[in-house]
Chain A
Amino acid sequence: MDTEIFLKSERCKGCGICVAFCPKKVLQLDTLGHCSVVRPDDCIACGQCELRCPDYAIFVDKKVYA
């Protein structure tokens, strides 16, 4: 999928909500407990992660080609 996932890591508290609700297991908490993108290619841009993140730390855009 042509998507881009952005993380504002300074806002992420590692609650794991995005990880739990991602239908494609794109996300995982890293060793420091922050959200990280582990399977970017599987992302279907469903927006679940962004919708549910209580800390506005993750954003998903469809890729725009100039």
Chain B
Amino acid sequence: MQERTYEKYFRQNRLPHIWCPGCGNGTVMKAIVEAVEKRKLPRDKTVIVSGIGCSSRASGYMDFDTLHTAHGRAIPFATGIKLANPELNVIVITGDGDCTAIGGNHFIHGARRNIDLTVVLFNNAIYGMTGGQASPMTPLHKKATTAPYGSVDRPFDACQLASAAGASYVARSTAFHVQHLTDMIAEGISVEGFSFIEAVVQCPTAYGRKNKMPEPAQMMAWLRDHAVLQKAWDKLPEEKRSDKFPIGVFLKRQFEEYTKAYAEVIASAQGGKK
């Protein structure tokens, strides 16, 4: 068979990965390396930074300089790497709990600074690694081990959060829409500034079993049937939106990127032109 180009980006001796049968994380990890390939990022100048969680284990399988940080803290580490050496391309892998609960503050401040990171949030709507507790992105009334009667905590829309906080690029896709997802990530990589891509993934083990979707394929069919492309979404009447959600590019804007802005600080401190 023909060797797939994406395979070269994996640490072959680390595969197969630890994720459960049918877990969507593998699909997003592949989409990221396909996007890297598409954007022709030089491999030795690309760093993958992740937090803690099932999703964050991805860094260990990817053949770049990789950093598996602490729970919630991937964005600060990534900020340090990027600012210390702006020629590096930095991709952040995070989970919904990692990014919007314990790391929520770093997430909005990363977006506010508009530092050139590509942040991919693997949203499985649950704490997978610790066995299925509710996350700030668990939908209302869905069950979790810590929400046995259904969650009453109103969830975040991480895309709106990133937009409001000042990101340069905000998009969403799913583990079902593989090519679309790859495109969303690739575009995020090419945007200079804080790029945020929410990848909705199936977690059959911790989320599906608790919420009447134990089969991975069932969950993927759900993604297929409930994700609506942005254009169609705009035309969708309110009453038909209910449990559906939009995918696509929500925001793309230009604003001075942080390391560029800081390079000017250095120039002016060194007596160059302001």
A and B touch in the complex (CB under 8 A): yes
Contact surface of A with B, Cβ cutoff 8 Å: 4, 6, 10-11, 13-17, 19-21, 51-57, 59, 61
A residues within 8 A CB of B10?
56
A5 to nearest B CB, angstroms?
9
Report which B residues bind A (CB closer than 8 A).
Answer: 1-2, 4, 6-7, 10, 15-17, 19-27, 30, 175-176, 178-179, 204, 215-217, 220-221
Query: Which are the 4 A-B pairs with shortest beta-carbon distances?
Result: A15-B22, A20-B217, A54-B26, A13-B21
Please name all residues of chain A whose beta carbon is closer than 8 Å to the beta carbon of B6 when the two chains form the complex: 56
Partner of A17, one of B4, B19, B22, B179: B22
Chain A residues whose CB sits within 8 angstroms of the CB of B204 once the complex forms: 15
- Alpha-carbon separation in the docked complex, A23 to B221 (Å): 14
User: In the complex, what's the smallest C-beta–C-beta distance from B267 to chain A, in angstroms?
Assistant: 46
| Nearest CB on A from B270, distance (A) | 49
CB distance from A30 to the nearest CB of B (A): 14
A-B contact pairs, 16 of them (CB 8 A): A4-B1, A11-B15, A13-B21, A13-B22, A15-B21, A15-B216, A17-B22, A20-B217, A20-B220, A20-B221, A54-B175, A55-B17, A55-B26, A56-B10, A56-B15, A61-B2
With A16-B22, A21-B220: A54-B1 Cβ-Cβ less than 8 Å: no
Instruction: Flag if A54 contacts B27 (CB, 8 Å).
Output: yes
A15 to B204, CA, bound (A): 10
